[in-house]
Amino acid sequence: MKLRRIGGLASGQPPLRAEDYRLLRDLVNERLGVYYGPDARGSLERRLRERLAVRGLTTFGDYYQLLKFGNAQEEWDEAAELLTTHETYFFREDYQLRAFKNELLPQLAKAGRARRRLHIWSAGCSTGEEAYTVAILLLESGLFDGWEVRVYGSDVSKKCIAAARRGVYTTQAFRTTPEAVRSRWFRQVDGAYAVSDAVRALCHFGQMNLLDDERTQLIGRVDVVFCRNVLIYFDAASRRRVIDMFHERLDPGGVLLLGHSESLLNVSTAFELLHLSEDLVYRKPTLAPR
């Protein structure tokens, strides 16, 4: 039977009213940083509609009440899954990774030679490809043998973190990975590719909301933060909050790498610009600014 459609919804299902949209959108923004603009009502409605059915709720207003006032951590996990974009692949934005490998890693090896410790954070790592890519670059550089090297991968999505810990990927994830790299650092398992033990040993994954100040403290101090293709979905105030948090987590001299479409313009003057041959990155000054 064909259902009659009212305001973009099959009849029988509750529409997302404008006032409920504003409430939900602001709540989502406050909790996750992700911002749904004035034209995104349909998108939010499509993404969350299935949760009303699962929860046996009749209106989006009830769903708002559940998220806002219920004991709702589990529901937030489900909502975050649906409200965020998880697109990622190995060796994404290769020009930046070249700059990281050829210019930043030698600088970090020199600066850290007394302490022999390198901690890197892939913040918003989705299913883990970015963190594993970084680990591969560290191993291939040969600059950190015998050092304490850790790559932390964090994401608000529980399912993504579970996939990152599994570390098994299909060919899609390798769309820009050279064949030689894939055969060196992955082994074939039932038509898929599993991360090798050497790469896996450097990586540690955990679920974490970047706006959760208590959880982000657990990362400790790091030398490099990768936060790529995460903050583009945030509003300016949440972006600023997260970037301030990165500044606090970075050791002096530490570096922040954002995605190519993201900019710190008007966000923070606490970082200095570091011009690399193929990229621009942000560095926490070694001396506190006067």
Cβ–Cβ under 8 Å, residues 83 and 24: no
Cβ neighbours around 182 below 10 Å, total? 18
Please say which residue, 61 or 206, places its beta carbon nearer to ligand SAM: 206
Q: Is 167 in the site for ligand SAM (CB under 6 A)?
A: no
# binding residues, ligand SAM (CB under 6 A): 24
Q: Is 160 in the site for ligand SAM (CB under 6 A)?
A: yes
Q: Is 229 in the site for ligand SAM (CB under 6 A)?
A: yes
Alpha-carbon distances, residue 122 vs 24, 153, 163, 218 (angstroms): 28, 5, 15, 14
Q: Is 33 in the site for ligand SAM (CB under 6 A)?
A: yes
Cβ–Cβ under 8 Å, residues 47 and 55: no
Among 155, 223, 262, 279, binds ligand SAM (CB under 6 A): 155
Residues 90-109 that bind ligand SAM (CB under 6 A): 92
Among 124, 128, 167, 254, binds ligand SAM (CB under 6 A): 124
CA distance 99 to 240: 25
Among 41, 150, 228, 284, binds ligand SAM (CB under 6 A): 228
Closest CA to 154 of 198, 201, 204: 204
Residues 193-212 that bind ligand SAM (CB under 6 A): 209-211
- In this structure, the strands spanning 9-10 and 5-6 are antiparallel
Among 84, 96, 177, 216, binds ligand SAM (CB under 6 A): 84
Cβ–Cβ under 8 Å, residues 126 and 165: no
Convert 233-270 to b/e letters by CB count within 10 Å (16 or more is b).
Answer: bbeeebbbbbbebbbebbbeebbbbbbeebebeebeeb
Q: Is 153 in the site for ligand SAM (CB under 6 A)?
A: no
Q: Is 214 in the site for ligand SAM (CB under 6 A)?
A: no
Please report, as ranges, the residues that interact with ligand SAM according to CB under 6 A.
32-34, 84-88, 92, 124-126, 130, 155-157, 160, 209-211, 228-230, 259
